[in-house]
Structure 1
């Protein structure tokens, strides 16, 4: 059967933004207020409740509460855990929204690149940015051989993970866990000691929005895992200089509109990019700095919705 392709532009509600999340938490409430202050209406949805309705709706998507229309933009705050099939379908909805002309922050491509730490590391290195030596394979014997021959410690990370959960620091010749405990994939990254401050481990979190660093902090902890969620303390950091510049470049490398970028400064003063998070929390950063992070994201989204100037 041949389908007529409708002009969906007329179905876009120009002042409506959908926020995809799973909980009306502090982040969602803060973002909603910021968007509303910019004159936008906000509809909060779960991607779990969305889907495809090809041949039923004008655009082929099922978006509860929109009566067959499309939002001008969508902001992705959280995608719930699920089976491979569920995650694929939810990302498919985000891909489809982009194809229909809806501005998606961050879009499915950026999320896919950042959720998969191996692709993040590849793209960071591909962009010429300093990042630790990284090996990702399914072969336990080959990866154990790397540990056995490593001159120093190695960090084992879950391929999909956030907030410092599931990280393990392995010494030379220390045994790797069974493959089943890491989802069948070993992601190994050389441990970077980094400069310490009064005996504390430290790294940097820089929040990038629309190609500029809008907030930054140094995180310090007695433990080598320095996430605020894991009990580290934060201190405001400069938005000028190499850390901010490298964070902006790393965000561009993964194609994200906004991101939380983790960096560490080595003994020679050079910053190294550790991770890029495409769905970052910012509550700890908000408590540490004077920047209204949600307002910066809302302002960037409004700028993206402005019509391009005539040639």
Structure 2
């Protein structure tokens, strides 16, 4: 027997290798993009004789008169056995709420959902992840969040050093700013009405860098260090990735950070704390890994796919094998 996400048990099903090549094998891959990441994931599934259903969460419907009530494209009278969430398209608050509801419903039905809705919800809200890190005692820069510009200005005035203002919902280094004086704060309408301010950690050696560790199934798959000519160290903003043999302390912190938000896989961003240790900046529940793959020693997509199938009882957990 294997535990299902809601704590009950379900019988272990036959491994994917027993299924005909080309069959979806009960797997759906949720995405709205047709990009490099999708091609890598499809290749990883194909190497196992599977062609997962590629669908958008916007195409899933609820039909309470039907069984199952969650109607996923390609699954007429059943729910998938595994769902890999590569992306959730932008939409209205109502649309995003329903799409997350789809993931909640699938998980409640015993589907192995990677990442589960709860993890996505926590990770997309930087304030929620910061609070969780603090509650878990994970080292992270001091953070202040408010909807009030006067309160934010007072925090900036009292801060000893620079702060980083980040969009509450955001990724790839877009929209972040260094703040040194209260008057540098933008108006609320320019930042979605929320001031998320985090203490800026200056590099001890003057080199701007951070660390991305890809976690899957409770272990670090691979890691990179990103170095930049500016303090923004995202690859999409011009930073350069390099292979990184993460020390035990960094690996343990990355795994703990992913676990704290309930993420089954994640891109975890760390920064040196200036005293020989690390701090966690954020956890990405739908991480890109093209930059990481360019310097990685393993096929990240292959490991991720193997872990998803193992979680659904469709395959054995894969070992980490250096890419050829």
Counterparts of 1:21 and 1:159, CA distance in 2: 22
The aligned residue for residue 96 of structure 1 is 105
1:9-88 → structure 2 map (5 Å cutoff):
15-55=25-65, 57-88=66-97
1:240-290: per-residue Cα shift (whole Å, max 9, x none)? 421111101100101111000001112211100001000000000000122
2:129 to 120, 137, 160: 120
Give the deviation of 1:14 after TM superposition: 8.7
Counterparts of 2:311 and 2:209, CA distance in 1: 35
Counterparts of 1:101 and 1:41, CA distance in 2: 21
Counterparts of 2:26 and 2:63, CA distance in 1: 21
Runs of 4+ in 1 over 6 A off after TM superposition: none
The aligned residue for residue 3 of structure 1 is none
The aligned residue for residue 107 of structure 1 is 116
SS at match of 1:71: coil
2:276 to 269, 278, 281: 269
SS at match of 1:41: coil
* TM-score (normalised: structure 2): 0.87
Counterparts of 1:174 and 1:216, CA distance in 2: 38
Q: Are residue 231 (structure 1) and residue 241 (structure 2) matched? A: no
Q: Which moved more, 1:237-246 or 1:290-299?
A: 237-246
Counterparts of 2:171 and 2:100, CA distance in 1: 18
1:242 to 243, 249, 255: 249
1:211 to 193, 218, 234: 218
1:212-246: per-residue Cα shift (whole Å, max 9, x none)? 10110110001111011111101111144211111
Q: Which moved more, 1:105-114 or 1:25-34?
A: 25-34
Counterparts of 1:195 and 1:303, CA distance in 2: 42
Q: Are residue 151 (structure 1) and residue 160 (structure 2) matched? A: yes
Gaps of 5+ in 1: 1-8
Q: 8 Å contact 2:24–2:51 — kept in the other structure?
A: no
Distance 1:14 1:81, change over 3 A: closer
Gaps of 5+ in 2: 1-9, 14-22, 315-324
1:35-58: per-residue Cα shift (whole Å, max 9, x none)? 232343301001111121111x20
Counterparts of 2:98 and 2:110, CA distance in 1: 19
Count of residues in Structure 1 that have an aligned counterpart in Structure 2:
296
SS at match of 1:203: strand
The aligned residue for residue 142 of structure 1 is 151
The aligned residue for residue 303 of structure 2 is 296
* TM-score (normalised: structure 1): 0.91
